[in-house]
Structures are given as structure tokens and as C-alpha cells.
């Protein structure tokens, strides 16, 4: 594609930027019991379910976690990257 805009739109999105726009609003503060970003103990319990289940729950919602977590166009790969970021990043 020649259009620089087109090239940008098809480039993989920066996980950190996506995170700030979406999951951040709940997972930074731990609102309603959301496992906090960087709280490795809280995430370890969740990761035991396996990444497939977690991606599924992010997409479909899980208890107080709303479906899609405010990212209405995230792919499964992007959910997995966001979950890894939240589980591994230092607070």
C-alpha cells in the first residue's frame, strides 16, 4: 500500500498504548477486585487457568470484568499481550 495512513493502520499496535487506552482504567487501581498490573501474585492465580481461558474471559467478560475490557477491536493476540504486560510489568 502506498498510503502512509494505510501502512500505519495495518502495523501491529503497541501493547503499552493499547493498555493505557483500555485495561488501565480498572487494572491499574484494582477497581472491583481487578488483579492489579504488576501484582504478580494476583496474576499467578489467574495464569494457572491458562492463557486460552484468560483470553476467552477477557473477550467474553468474567464476573465484574466487562466483555472486551473496553477494547472493542482487540484480537486474541492483543489480549494475550495485554495480559502478559499486566502480569509481568513492575507496578
Nearest to 22 by CA among 87, 89, 78, 88: 78
DSSP 39: -
CB 34 within 8 A of CB 27: yes
Residue 6 or 66 with smaller CB distance to ligand HEC: 66
Give the three cell numbers for residue 48.
494457572
Which residues 18-47 are close enough to bind ligand HEC by CB under 6 A?
22-23, 25-27, 31-35, 46
Residue 6 or 61 with smaller CB distance to ligand HEC: 61
Give the three cell numbers for residue 22.
483500555
Chosen residue from 44, 49, 52, 67 binding ligand HEC by CB under 6 A: 49
Chosen residue from 36, 48, 82, 90 binding ligand HEC by CB under 6 A: 82
Check residue 63 for interaction with ligand HEC (CB under 6 A). Answer: yes
Amino acid at each position: 500500500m502506498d498510503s502512509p495512513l494505510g501502512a500505519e493502520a495495518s502495523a501491529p499496535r503497541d501493547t503499552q498504548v493499547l493498555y493505557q487506552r483500555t485495561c488501565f482504567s480498572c487494572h491499574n487501581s484494582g477497581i472491583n477486585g481487578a488483579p492489579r498490573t504488576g501484582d504478580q501474585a494476583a496474576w499467578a492465580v489467574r495464569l494457572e487457568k491458562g492463557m486460552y481461558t484468560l483470553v476467552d474471559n477477557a473477550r467474553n467478560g468474567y464476573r465484574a470484568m466487562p466483555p472486551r475490557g473496553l477494547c472493542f477491536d482487540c484480537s486474541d493476540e492483543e489480549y494475550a499481550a495485554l495480559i502478559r504486560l499486566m502480569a509481568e510489568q513492575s507496578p
